[in-house]
Amino acid sequence: MRRPSKSSPPKLSTDSQRLIGFSHAIAQAASRLEERAWERGLDILSQKLLKSNHQDTIDAALNNVFKADLDAYDSLVEAIEATSESCVIEQDGVQFDALLIAAPILAWTRFAIPSGPIAEDIRQTLSAQLSAHLLADGAHLVVAPALLSIDQLPHTHAETFALTRRMAQAALKNHVVQFPAKAAETVPFLADIRYLLATVVVPIGTPLFRWQMPQNQPNVIADQQQMLAQWQEQAAPSIAGLLPGCGLELLLPEAYYIACREADKQIRPAAIRAAQHYLTHTLNVAAPDLRAIIGGFGDDNDTQLSEYRIGFAIGTQPEIVYGIIWPLYGEEDDSDLSIQDEHKRPIEIITDLLQEEGITNIKRHNTRFSMEFCDDCGAPLFADDEGELVHPEMPEDTPQGSEHFH
């Protein structure tokens, strides 16, 4: 569940109020017919606002509903995301459904993780493999000519809306979609996600993905796993060539927002493994000589935890030399320890992963920390043994070129 931005205008516009009204009506609908009627109105308004780039109007409504009614918020954000990542286009009197999809790639390394342009022959190979293993028969497809980091993805729903429609037209006309020659600079991380974006176009009302086809419908989950395995096997050589020196895991290509959300969750364990590998090899220490200090962080005006920050120290030395963030999404929250759940809590998962990597000296602060960042560089601050928030600093004798990772 996407959390809205913190800033909101003091007065809601008429369209913001209409978005809010639709979202509450959907949440309170007593029948599917009523719900669908409200959804049609919300979709029409959302499309109008996205087309005219009125992102502020949408954000104001999201902020308001998030504070008042989470069910209504879910309805609103689902509608906005769906409208921005999909559309209906027409060619020669025939209507087509189009969907923006993302094929996330988890990557980890001691070196820089590349992003940027994809050679045309590789793009065509990946396009053929997506079509053969994942898309429904007869689907049109265009694959973006670049491997993107999170900093290079659309920043707003309105930008996603425009990209979806531009790529849909390119898919239908069998054109290569143009991307900016100079992309946004990427912050280097030891473990990060790279995204292969594509848009699928099919005759309206027909299947987009192979698992939707009639012969596959009784066994969707099993078929998805089989198709993912085929995609991983066939695409791995091409992806490895784009990301040399990286450990890789290819996730299931899906609708844009769902795929990005799942990748955000799946990269978290990889970040812990990458940190252990990086620190033990760069600093020439054994994993048992590392200490992990975990702090829960949240916004001052929110009782829910937003993330865990895990700082690493060496032996008995007090300095935090490196840190990683474990964001919490949706219903993940360790704030109320009285709630019993059959699933492991995030803090238990983190502790288990650290121990699997040989880091057994683990301290967890019970204090809830504010989301503080370095005034100079904007980097997140981490709690040390004493609960002071500090900037991680690698030792002065760290090999050149190894200290710039986050």
Mean pLDDT for the stretch of residues 343-355: 93
pTM for this prediction: 0.87
Radius of gyration of the chain (CA): 23
For position 85, what pLDDT does the model report? Answer: 98
Averaged pLDDT, 88-98 = 95
Question: Whole-number mean pLDDT of the chain?
Answer: 90
Per-residue pLDDT, averaged over 285-311, amounts to 92
Helices (H), 196-219: none
Would you list the domain boundaries of the chain?
14-84, 92-265, 283-390
User: Given a cut of 80, is residue 398 above it in pLDDT?
Assistant: no
Task: Tell me what pLDDT residue 333 has.
Answer: 65
Distances (CA, A) of 378 to 187, 308, 391: 12, 17, 10
Q: Is the pLDDT of residue 268 over 60?
A: yes
pLDDT digits (tens, 9 = 90+) for 13-35: 999 999 999 999 999 999 999 99
Instruction: Report pLDDT digits (tens) over 209-253.
Output: 999 998 777 788 899 999 999 999 999 999 999 999 999 999 999
CA distance 339 to 391: 33
Q: Could you read off the pLDDT of 148-197 as tens digits, one per residue?
A: 999 899 999 999 999 999 999 999 999 999 887 667 777 778 899 999 99
- Tokens 């219903």, residue located: 331
Alpha-carbon span 242 to 279, nearest angstrom: 25
Q: Where are the alpha helices (DSSP H) in 174-244?
A: 220-242
Distances (CA, A) of 204 to 3, 139, 141, 208: 32, 11, 15, 10
Six token digits for residue 219:
């066994």
pLDDT band at 342 (very low <50, low <70, confident <90, very high): low
pLDDT at 1 over 80: no
Q: Is it the case that residue 114 has pLDDT exceeding 60?
A: yes
pLDDT band at residue 344 using 50, 70 and 90 as cut-offs: confident
**What pLDDT does residue 4 have?**
52
Structure confidence at residue 378 (pLDDT): 82
Please check whether residue 369 is in contact with residue 297, taking contact to mean a CB–CB distance below 8 angstroms.
yes
As a whole number of angstroms, the distance between CA 141 and CA 181 comes to 22
CA distance linking residue 233 with residue 226, whole number of Å? 11
Backbone φ, ψ for residue 38 (5° rounding): -65, -40
pLDDT at 81: 98
pLDDT > 50? residue 301: yes
Whether 383 and 293 have beta carbons less than 8 Å apart is answered as yes
Whether 335 shows a pLDDT value over 70: the answer reads: no
